[in-house]
Amino acid sequence: MTLGALSWPVLLAIVGVASVIVIGLHLLRLRRRKVVVPHLAIFEEAIGSAATAKRVDWIRRILALLLSLLIAGALSLSLGEPELPRNDKGEIRILVIDQSLSMEARDETGRSRRDRALEEAARWIESKDENDSMAILAADHMPLILSPLSKDRDALKSSLRQSTKGWGEAALRETLMLGRDLIEEAQRRAPAPHQALEMVVLTDEPMEEIVEEVFGNTAMQESAENSSNETDEAGALLIRILPIQFAGGRDNLAIAELAARRLPSDPTRVRTLAHIENHGPSDRKARLELSSESGPLESLEIRLPPHSSDVFFFDDLPLTEGRIDASLHLEDAASEALFEDDWASALVAPRERVRVHLISRGNLYLEAALLLDPSFELTMSGEGDPFPERGIDLYVLDSVAPKLPPRVPALIFIDPRMSEGDAPELGPLLGELLDRPRIRTEREEDPIVRGARLYETNIKEARSIRLLRGERGLAHSGKDALLSLVERDERRMLVFGFRIEESDLPLRAAFPLILMRGADALLGRTAEYRPPHRQFEPIELESGGKELSLHRPTVASLPDHRDADASHREGNAPERLLSVGGYARFIPMAQGVYRVEGEGFEAEFVVARSALDESRIAREETLSGSLSESATAHAPSANPPHLRTLFMRLPLLTLLLSFALVLLVLESLFYHRRWIE
């Protein structure tokens, strides 16, 4: 016999104290009272009977004392919760902890479902018998073994602390399959015909369909009524499944999607989409803020009725490339249950890098405008200085006319005083000399000057540009073209017929925009939309001709989850990437945002959340109890799990209490009569 609540020394001490109390009471009860009577003859018969009974009175007194001691001993033993001897191998129990995003939903007390699940798991571990084997599995985006089968309580508690927050959907089916394999492997290694097999699933998901899919008829969805693991007709082990479902928290406002892309008609403009969902039964009010590494970008007040969603668009954000972060700031009295989906990130794909060389007489206006585009890798040289003839994608000529390598595009600002002899290559473009012209019309449908509003731009002096058939005049003064996109001798050119510093064009905000658009038109750069990485998809990164590949990335749950094919190390430790580049540093920046750094290489990417159903935390229909009440609890059990094993001790406790009751009856029957003197 073993004790479930007290140790044997403590129990023996209780029995000793109870025995001393019983003996003391018994001695006090033996004291006889003296009664004065008026006539002795009335009690002579009773005195005669008492004299006869004195010969056997000591037997009744000893028997009464022994019965009292037995009653005290039986009641004291019941306090220790005794158990009948069990199988030496004990039970095999698998604890499955759901680590999905919805398990982070908090109730009115501020405790999340996962917190309560961990407390419940700790109670199961604490109530474990010394012969029971227990394993702990985490159902994240993939099954994780926190602890193999072990009988060590301390080791199990330490493993339980390794449970982490989730970001996506839990792979409950795969985790149950893994738990089933662990049980079957343990039974193959050490068969035990009557060993109890059990899986406890701590989750907020309905388990009936999942259990049926994984186990079929080999699982018993009962709590304590059936404790055997007899095999069925096919020889499969019968495993008892104990789902414990958690609820709590209803209101949740979530960013379901955040996307950003450049407009195809204007690659310098960024359009951002934010999809907001209200999963709760209350009207919600919040402020949606967009920001970048440089600071805030946009802010918008939003209101959503219950169980609704809306899509918000943001145009012309002051951002050329980089990461956009969106966050929801609540401005109502509703209690937000899930904060983890109140923010998201998106990347604006950087434009293709362009090597630009400026040949100038020291024009600071032009130099500053070119430096505003981060995709320009700008180099410069002065008039008459040697310049690179190879490795340049675009030349910018400021009032100069050097001989350029063939077929390389150019952006040209003509000096009106320049003659055909000074610029043989530009000679065919030079038209009439114009004094103080103004731009009167512009080709508004052309993407280079769309929205630029060049009307009434003042110019001191200019040359009209001669156009061939099919060439585009973008801005005119009367019939004279002052800004044109032309192609001569297999070279594409955007030509300005005036010096930039002799006009008020640099004072207009559209000037850098025209340069960026002109470069895109000359080089054929288009708006590249790079969709966000989805969970579990390979990630391809390029670095100067070398490709880095992250295969099967596990960045779907938390920043501290690493590449599945890399060793599990600390957050900023270098991780081995499957690439020709060797090693690189894989750094979590925020939830879903990661940076990869290598030798001469740096890139940032965002992994978008794909488990959008995890934001729908108010699932009353699934938490109403599709399984039998004995198999499902809708909240952590208020009593510790060892009360379940108390059902196994109830027969013995009932026997002890019944025996104590019988002893009480017998003791009352043997209670000696009050003697009269």
The whole-angstrom separation of Cα 466 and Cα 602 is 46
Q: CA of 96: how far to CAs of 136, 143, 144, 180, in Å?
A: 6, 10, 10, 11
Burial of 445 (0-12, 13-18, 19+ CB in 10 A): exposed
The whole-angstrom separation of Cα 422 and Cα 401 is 7
The whole-angstrom separation of Cα 210 and Cα 219 is 11
Structure confidence at residue 649 as a pLDDT band (50, 70, 90): low
pLDDT tens digits for range 463-477: 999 998 878 899 999
The residue type at 188: R
Q: CA of 178: how far to CAs of 33, 136, 183, 184, 566, in Å?
A: 76, 11, 9, 10, 22
Residues facing 563 on adjacent strands: 553
* Residue 677 pLDDT: 38
* Residue 559 pLDDT: 33
Q: Which of 3-7, 311-315, 549-553 has the lowest mean pLDDT?
A: 549-553
* Residue 600 pLDDT: 65
* Residue 638 pLDDT: 37
Cα 380 to the center of its chain, rounded Å: 48
Closest CA to 89 of 188, 194, 176: 194
The percent helix, strand, coil of the chain (3-state, each to 5) is 25, 30, 45
In the chain, what are the domains? Answer: 2-83+652-669 (no CATH), 92-249+620-640 (3.40.50.410), 253-351 (2.60.40.10), 354-523 (3.40.50.880), 539-606 (no CATH)
pLDDT at 554 over 50: no
Name the more confident of 389 and 532.
389
The whole-angstrom separation of Cα 604 and Cα 618 is 35
Percent with pLDDT over 70 in the chain: 70
Q: CA of 282: how far to CAs of 262, 278, 310, in Å?
A: 36, 8, 15
Q: Kind and range of the H or E element at 255? A: strand 253-263
Name the more confident of 530 and 191.
191
Closest CA to 274 of 321, 320, 324: 324
pLDDT at 365 over 70: yes
Q: Kind and range of the H or E element at 395? A: strand 394-398
pLDDT at 76 over 50: yes
Over range 612-626, report the average pLDDT. Answer: 55
Structure confidence at residue 346 as a pLDDT band (50, 70, 90): confident
Structure confidence at residue 674 as a pLDDT band (50, 70, 90): very low
pTM attached to this predicted model:
0.60
* Residue 147 pLDDT: 92
The whole-angstrom separation of Cα 129 and Cα 146 is 20
CB neighbour list of residue 384: distance below 8 Å, 6 or more residues apart:
none
pLDDT tens digits for range 398-450: 988 888 999 999 999 999 888 877 777 788 888 899 999 998 888 877 888 88
The whole-angstrom separation of Cα 160 and Cα 97 is 9
Residues 97 and 199: beta-carbon distance below 8 Å: no
Q: Classify the C-alpha dihedral 567-573-574-575 as positive or negative.
A: positive
Residues facing 597 on adjacent strands: 585, 602
pLDDT tens digits for range 199-235: 999 998 888 888 888 887 554 444 333 333 444 444 5
